[in-house]
Amino acid sequence: MISFINATCSFRKNAGVKNLNFSIDDGEFVFLTGPSGAGKSTLLRLIYMDLFPEKGKVLIRDYDSNKIKDRQIPFLRRKVGMIFQDFQLLKDRNVYQNVAISLYASHYKIREIKSRVYDILNQVGLGHRVHHKPMELSGGEQQRVAIARALVKEPIVLLADEPTGNLDPRVSIELMNLLHKINKKGTAVIIATHNYSLIKRVPGARLIQMNEGEIASIT
C-alpha cells in the first residue's frame, strides 16, 4: 500500500505536487499521465523517498516520510524498484555485474546473488547476454537490464519514469508486455508516461492524470 496524505512538494518551477490525497494498493498497475511539468516524476521521487513532502506525508507500507531515518532509506529502496529513461547502466560493467551491484551493496551472500541474478535475467530474456557490456546491447536490451536491476531485490512496487521514451514502437510494446507479466506475478507497477497508446496494452490498469502538480482525475 502506497498512500499520499495531504502531500505537498515544491521541486522546481512547474514540477512540484500539491495536496495529493490517494492510495495505490499492492499489485496494482498504474499509469501516471499529464503534460511535462505536471509533477509525474516528482511523485515517483516521493515514493522512492529521493524527495520528501514539505507538508503531509507519504506512506510506503510501514515507512512514513515524516518519521523515516536516513539509515532506513536503503531498506525502503529494497522494496521500491526504480527504472530510469536513460537506463543509468555502468558502461564498464557487464550485464551480470550491473544487475548484481545492488545486491553486493546490500551484503547478500555470493550464492544468493548468483541465483537471483541469473533467475531475473532469464525472466527478462537476457540469460544469454550476461557477459555483454551495455554498449554491446540494443536499446531494448539495455532497458531490460535496467528492469532486471530494479527487480532483483524483489520489490513490492516497480516505478518507471518514461521507460519507453528512447525506444521504437515495437520494442516499447515488448517492454510493456514484460511489465504487464511482472505485474501479474504480484508486483505493483507505476509508470509515468506521455504515451497514451501504451495504456491500451494493459487492460484494467488504473489511470491517474496530473496537471500542474495536482490530480486532475483518477479512473
pLDDT digits (tens, 9 = 90+) for 53-63: 988 999 998 89
Helix, strand or coil, per DSSP, at residue 139:
helix
Q: In this structure, are residues 93 and 129 in contact, taking their beta carbons and an 8 Å threshold?
A: no
pLDDT digits (tens, 9 = 90+) for 150-177: 999 889 999 999 888 777 888 888 888 8
Mean pLDDT of 64-75: 93
Helix, strand or coil, per DSSP, at residue 72:
helix
CB atoms inside a 10 Å sphere around CB 168 = 11
DSSP letters spanning 42-65: HHHHHHTTSS--SEEEEEETTEET
C-alpha cell, 134: 551495455
129: pLDDT strictly greater than 60: yes
C-alpha cell, 193: 508516461
CA-to-CA separations, 5 to 17, 167, 206, 209, in angstroms, rounded:
12, 35, 19, 18
Q: How does the average pLDDT of the chain come out, rounded?
A: 89
Residues 6+ apart with CB under 8 A from 102: 149, 152, 153
C-alpha cell, 190: 507505476
User: Where do the domains of the chain lie, and which CATH numbers do they carry?
Assistant: 1-79+157-219 (3.40.50.300), 86-154 (no CATH)
